[in-house]
Amino acid sequence: MNVTYLLFKAMLSGALIAIASEVARHWPGFGALIASLPLISLLGMIWLWRDTADIERLADHTQATLWFIAPSVPMFVLMPWLWRAGVSFWAGLGIGCILTVMLYLLMIWGASRMGIRL
């Protein structure tokens, strides 16, 4: 892979995260809107298409992304509740991440039992 292209992808993707966090410092709701946009997913699709031009791989990737959204949603419910209940930032973040990993594993297990390829 071309190092310049890899650096470009990393800088653009990182810039989007930086923009969302800077906007959130002043306007939390608007920063959340930017963060919730599927920009990373869209960029991932663009990079995958550019790198492979494989429509079947792209379709599989997009479908798997849909399946992985659901297990990540509870984290966004749990963490604010924990923080407002007095749990420290790092503990709340860790608990949210552990929950999400457990739900991802459950999703992978459940999908394979239902014949869904992720």
Q: What is the mean pLDDT of the chain?
A: 90
CB 80 within 8 A of CB 95: no
97: left (phi over 0), alpha (psi -120 to 50) or beta: alpha
For residue 43, the model assigns a pLDDT of: 87
Q: Average pLDDT in the 35-48 region?
A: 85
Query: How far apart are the C-alpha atoms of 19 and 106, rounded to whole Å?
Result: 33
Query: How far apart are the C-alpha atoms of 114 and 98, rounded to whole Å?
Result: 24
Hey, is 75 helix, strand or coil?
Answer: helix
pLDDT digits (tens, 9 = 90+) for 50-92: 999 999 999 999 988 888 888 999 999 999 999 999 999 999 9
Query: How far apart are the C-alpha atoms of 65 and 27, rounded to whole Å?
Result: 28
Confidence of residue 1 (pLDDT cuts 50, 70, 90): low
Q: Average pLDDT in the 107-116 region?
A: 90
Q: Average pLDDT in the 21-25 region?
A: 91
Query: How far apart are the C-alpha atoms of 118 and 50, rounded to whole Å?
Result: 21
